[in-house]
Amino acid sequence: MRIPAFLILLCLHFALFAQNTRDPLPRHLSQGELEQVEDYIRPIPAGTISLSSLGGTEGFRSMAEWEELQAVVITWTSFSAILAEIVRAVRTECEVIIVCNNKVSVQNYLNGKGVDWSTNVRFLEGPYNSIWVRDYGPNSVYRNDVDSLYLVDWIYNRPRPKDDVVPSLVGSFLNLPVLGTTTAPEDLVHTGGNFMSDGLGTAFSSNLVLQENGPNNNYGFSNHSEAEVDEIMFNYMGIDPYIKMTNLPYDAIHHIDMHMKLIDEETLIVGEYPAGIADGPQIEANLQYVLNNFTTKWGTPFRVIRVPMPPDNSNKYPHQGGDYWTYANALIANRTVIVPTYALKYDTTALRIWREAMPGYTVTGINCESIIPLSGALHCITKEVGVNDPLRIVHQRIDGFQSTPDGYEIDAIVQHRSGIQSSTLYYSTDTLSGYTAVPMTASMEEGHYIGYIPVFTEGTEVFYYVAGEAVSGKTQVRPMTAPHGYWSFTVPESTAIDARSMSGLTLQPAYPNPARAITCIPIKIQEGGPLQVSLVDVMGRQVNVFDGYATQGEQNVFFDASRFAPGTYQIVASTQGKMRVHQTLIIQSR
């Protein structure tokens, strides 16, 4: 019997998109998908709205991943054991929304794993194709900083029609409006794994976003220039500047979440390979490009914390055909961080680095050795949704050099749509003995509140955090884990401000100080010429961190403090063999 051609095509279509736990869809395009990308007709998600319907495009702000969450979304497909551990860890912090085909079967599985789903877990029965909700899920944005929550739905860069409508499904489930970049001239192909935001308007991606929207794209949508991509991202998500980096040669999907992650407004966790290995050289080149051309919103360099990128269980790196073992592919869910793990001999170091980077947070490892061959881990299979009613606190940590006659000034942005009733600064030199509370006062700059920490003796470590209360009664602290979590600094030695300037050469305070990772030394030179900047330890041993030609004016010298032993160093700068200035720098272990 001959089977009609349309039935054959229909069967092939459903075979491609069927959930198959034995052969799950990879994060990258499968061979079958590669062959049908150009002919794929995407569905038009129901319920999405346009920017024009809102009466303007200004005022949107992309949420940062460390902000307060109401939910984390997952799709229940293959790798159920990993998904169950995500539910176990995250439900203590916020709701877990499980998109699934049959909620009873999911509940039975969770019961078998001893995972409580009776509270903070909701089941959304609906269609989907794959586990990679990070890439196709909804993106949280706020209008006017903290007023109204919207979800943004990009065009998914995979021919997976059910995945493409999940943002609309979640928006309807949570009663949130969904903005769609699906209509020309603002149609945009993008993925969540290739995007991260600082919550202040700066965002990062690889050049993949330009390739998938440019003149040679395979998706049948508008051909956008970089300026047009930037404009769409600004209109829908408030992004400016939009930093894009060279694709990595051995990361087949070119998603930046495989090797880097913002953990606050000024700190990047970056994967580090041994020198010259795999994607290491390109990661380092991209990082230096960022540090040399962009700053935080406060005009200072990004802090960088390195985390190892180990070989896989066959002792192979990606350039040798090994799996892409990454510890950067983590999820921050309020006060909990879940980090992918693979092998104890590497996991111990990575988890220690995460815990030191985020004091007070519960850092939990979940084994991802089974899923990483498909080019993804924990960040890739989760998607956060911000709260409807955020109380937002933003602060740039201080390093101890900024003392004034009133003490150390702490400046924080504190915002809530009902207004702020009060803001309080808490500080301590011994967290076990408790904190001292200091009322903060509104400054002339809208949304900013100021408080002061008294100056302590040299070498004292000071811990502090900020709390806010809204007119509505809502309260929040930052860091969100306070009082167990905090910002800290060590009062510098008095010699740290000696001999910083001579005629023609000025050495500004290095930051951060104490230093743990990428550190900046600002220098001002009256006349261009040879410049040498060195670190000298207490034994008088000298290591050059810069030796070259410096132009006239202000410039920054960067070095990685994590490559030096902890201790007290002198930064010594000299030019033309005549002028020599110095200051003290403290290097701490990571």
- Give me the pLDDT at residue 539, please: 65
- Give me the pLDDT at residue 297, please: 93
Q: E-strand spans in 8-88?
A: 48-49, 60-62, 69-75
Helix %, strand %, coil % for the chain, to 5? 20, 35, 45
Mean pLDDT estimate for the chain: 88
Last residue of a domain, one of 356, 386, 416: 386
Domains of the chain: total: 3
Which CATH number do you get for residue 429? 2.60.40.10
Query: pLDDT digit string (tens) for 421-454?
Result: 999 999 999 999 999 999 999 999 999 999 999 9
Q: Percentage of the chain surpassing pLDDT 70?
A: 89
If asked whether residues 467 and 382 sit together in one domain, one would say no
- Give me the pLDDT at residue 23, please: 58
What average pLDDT score do residues 134-154 get? 96
If asked whether residues 412 and 482 sit together in one domain, one would say yes
If asked whether residues 408 and 349 sit together in one domain, one would say no
User: Do the domain assignments include residue 8?
Assistant: no
H or E, element range at 584: strand 579-587
Whether the predicted pLDDT of 369 surpasses 80: yes
Whether the predicted pLDDT of 471 surpasses 70: yes
Query: pLDDT digit string (tens) for 231-257?
Result: 999 999 999 999 999 999 999 999 999
Whether the predicted pLDDT of 102 surpasses 60: yes
- Give me the pLDDT at residue 158, please: 87
Last residue of a domain, one of 349, 371, 386: 386
- Give me the pLDDT at residue 34, please: 65
Name the more confident of 515 and 220: 515
Query: pLDDT digit string (tens) for 1-27?
Result: 333 333 333 333 333 333 333 458 877
Query: pLDDT digit string (tens) for 393-412?
Result: 999 998 877 678 889 999 99
User: Do the domain assignments include residue 4?
Assistant: no
CB atoms within 10 A of CB 35: 11
Q: The pTM is what?
A: 0.83
Whether the predicted pLDDT of 576 surpasses 80: no
Whole-number Å distance between alpha carbons of 172 and 176: 6
Q: Which residues of 47-66 are buried (b: 16+ CB within 10 A; e: fewer)?
A: ebeebeebeebeebbbbbbb
Copy the structure tokens of residue 476: 């929040």
Q: 154, 131 in Cβ contact below 8 A?
A: no
Query: pLDDT digit string (tens) for 103-142?
Result: 999 999 999 999 999 999 999 999 999 999 999 999 999 9
Contacting residues for 275 by C-beta, under 8 A, at least 6 apart: none
* Burial (CB count <10 Å: 0-12, 13-18, 19+), residue 123: middle
Copy the structure tokens of residue 567: 């201790």
If asked whether residues 425 and 450 sit together in one domain, one would say yes
Whether the predicted pLDDT of 531 surpasses 90: no
User: Do the domain assignments include residue 451?
Assistant: yes
If asked whether residues 48 and 122 sit together in one domain, one would say yes
Name the more confident of 51 and 467: 467
If asked whether residues 374 and 485 sit together in one domain, one would say no
User: Do the domain assignments include residue 438?
Assistant: yes
- Give me the pLDDT at residue 35, please: 61
User: Do the domain assignments include residue 2?
Assistant: no
What's 351's DSSP letter? H
User: Do the domain assignments include residue 7?
Assistant: no
Q: 324, 251 in Cβ contact below 8 A?
A: yes
Lowest mean pLDDT, pick from 14-23, 34-43, 279-288: 14-23
Q: E-strand spans in 273-374?
A: 303-308, 331-333, 336-341, 362-367
Domain of residue 499 covers: 494-587
If asked whether residues 85 and 113 sit together in one domain, one would say yes
If asked whether residues 325 and 400 sit together in one domain, one would say no
If asked whether residues 424 and 372 sit together in one domain, one would say no
User: Do the domain assignments include residue 411?
Assistant: yes
Whether the predicted pLDDT of 482 surpasses 50: yes
Is the sign of the CA dihedral 319, 322, 323, 329 positive or negative? negative
If asked whether residues 199 and 336 sit together in one domain, one would say yes
Query: pLDDT digit string (tens) for 164-198?
Result: 999 999 999 999 999 999 888 889 999 999 999 99
What average pLDDT score do residues 145-152 get? 96
H or E, element range at 169: helix 166-174
Which CATH number do you get for residue 166? 3.75.10.10
User: Do the domain assignments include residue 139?
Assistant: yes
Q: 386, 203 in Cβ contact below 8 A?
A: no
If asked whether residues 500 and 475 sit together in one domain, one would say no
Last residue of a domain, one of 386, 404, 422: 386
- Give me the pLDDT at residue 340, please: 98
If asked whether residues 421 and 439 sit together in one domain, one would say yes
